């Protein structure tokens, strides 16, 4: 396989990985904000992404945990095709970067085009609003 083909395949996997993250964020946002009408829902959403999803996926992307470790959290079937080995070191780092960017820096935005429009150097993290409970 040529280098161009490998890079193209890896880019497709990154795009698919981000689509899965976006769908998770969108479903969480819909269930927390629109269905529950909870005024602290944005903080709960940020908490779920930064304290549950991010630390669950990070060891898999870093190669410290096997893909099967996602079975306990129910994420195995969601990420099975995207994270199926082999993952090159470059692909792991790129997915790790987007996991941080999509879940930590921009937890409330599920449109990857909007996230991509902000540069790393010139953007601020999204604001967390205090709970009104």
pTM check: above 0.75: yes
Contact 45, 29 (CB under 8 A): yes
The tally of CA atoms less than 13 A away on the side-chain side of residue 8 is: 5
Query: How many whole angstroms separate alpha carbon 45 and alpha carbon 51?
Result: 10
In a domain, 113, yes or no: no
Structure tokens at 95: 């997915």
Q: Mean pLDDT over residues 54-66, rounded? A: 94
In a domain, 127, yes or no: no
For residue 128, give the DSSP letter.
P
| Total domain count, the chain | 1
In a domain, 14, yes or no: yes
Matching residue, tokens 């549950």: 52
Judge whether residue 133 has pLDDT over 60: no
In a domain, 33, yes or no: yes
Confidence of residue 120 (pLDDT cuts 50, 70, 90): low
In a domain, 126, yes or no: no
* Residue 37 lies in domain: 3-105
The answer to whether the peptide bond before residue 86 is cis (omega within 30 degrees of 0) is yes
The pLDDT score that the predictor gives to residue 95 is 95
Query: C-alpha dihedral over 116, 119, 125, 126, to 10 degrees?
Result: -40
In a domain, 71, yes or no: yes
The pLDDT score that the predictor gives to residue 1 is 67
SS3 state of residue 88: coil
Query: How many whole angstroms separate alpha carbon 17 and alpha carbon 33?
Result: 24
In a domain, 63, yes or no: yes
Query: How many whole angstroms separate alpha carbon 121 and alpha carbon 12?
Result: 25
Helix (H), strand (E) at residue 92: helix 89-100
In a domain, 46, yes or no: yes
Q: Mean pLDDT over residues 42-54, rounded? A: 89
Q: Higher pLDDT residue, 114 or 6?
A: 6
Structure confidence by residue, pLDDT tens digits, 76-112: 999 999 999 889 999 999 999 999 999 999 888 878 8
Matching residue, tokens 């161009």: 4
């Amino acid at each position: 396989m040529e280098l161009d083909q490998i890079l193209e395949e890896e880019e497709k996997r990154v795009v698919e990985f981000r689509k899965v993250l976006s769908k998770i964020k969108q479903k969480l946002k819909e269930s927390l904000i629109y269905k529950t009408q909870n005024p602290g829902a944005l903080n709960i959403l940020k908490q779920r992404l930064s304290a549950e999803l991010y630390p669950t996926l990070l060891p898999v992307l870093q190669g410290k945990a096997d893909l099967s470790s996602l079975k306990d959290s129910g994420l195995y079937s969601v990420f099975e095709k995207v994270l199926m080995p082999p993952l090159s070191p470059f692909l792991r780092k790129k997915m790790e970067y987007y996991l941080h960017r999509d879940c930590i820096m921009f937890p409330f935005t599920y449109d990857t085009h909007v996230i991509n429009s902000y540069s790393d150097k010139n953007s601020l993290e999204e604001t967390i609003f205090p709970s009104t409970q």
